[in-house]
Amino acid sequence: MDQKKVREEIFKKASKTYYNSSRYFPADKREEVFTLYAFVRVADDFVDRVPADPDGFYRFKADWERAWGGERTGNAIIDDMADLARKRHFDPEWTTAFLRSMEWDLTKKNYDTLQETLDYIYGSAEVIGLYMARILQLPAEADPGARLLGRAMQYINFIRDMDEDRRVLGRRYLPLEDTGLADISLQEAQRRPEAFRRFVNLHADRYLEWQRGAEAAYHYLPPAFRWPIMTASDMYVWTVETIRKDPFLVFRRQVKPNKFRVMAAYLRNRFNVGRVRLSKNTPTR
């Protein structure tokens, strides 16, 4: 299998929502997006597999440092990312922050304050927004919106995957402060159902606030780039609204839109038909 196909398959397997949306980027940008996401997904896989592979992660990290220093490592995922980073002028601190957050997944299990969660999200997601802004060659003024979009998308993943993260990986990214919950197990949610619903709504509200901030920066996106990004965002909004209708759904299945829903959302955005945009007045409860 050629390297382009390898990168695409890695991305497709790891993130169906964003992969299906990214397929609508122009071909040259699509290849760069696949290069980026193959790199971050391979790094993530070392820390998210069961059991985790810390040795593999630290080899990957060392190979990245070699590649960024100008060596060819023989690992096409890493070497292609280094080439892309130079081509698009990625700040090397972004990749340092990304790998730091991945490293935390090897040792840190619970995030007990919102600030702790946001520190993690900066490296795991906000820098992905910054990478994307450079790939799409957006002005620097778009960077705050790009960071917010990365933050919002990561946060809805935390909401959607809270039960799997707890059961399989032993992690809790969503802080419990001011919720009255002892943990986010099904047993605790059943014991205190109203507190659990408030917990989900609290985090959904945070997601929606950041999503609104990201949407305020959409005007920096040329239409060909705006439509796929709006489509991915719409699907995450659909995800959070589906969960808010029945918060206990997170214990029964992983809520993800199928490719037909994604396609329909893209066509609505592409032809500006029937899209419901968030506003400051959008109800969140």
Give the pLDDT confidence of 249-263 residue by residue, as tens digits: 999 999 988 888 988
Residues 6+ apart with CB under 8 A from 11: 18, 19, 22, 33, 34, 37, 38, 41
pTM as predicted: 0.89
* Cα distances (angstroms) measured from residue 172 to each of 63, 91, 132, 167, 175: 30, 29, 27, 10, 7
Residue 276 has pLDDT above 60, yes or no: no
pLDDT bucket at 278, cuts 50 / 70 / 90: low
Residue 273 has pLDDT above 70, yes or no: no
Residue 128 has pLDDT above 80, yes or no: yes
Which CATH fold would you assign to the domain 3-270?
Answer: Farnesyl Diphosphate Synthase (1.10.600)
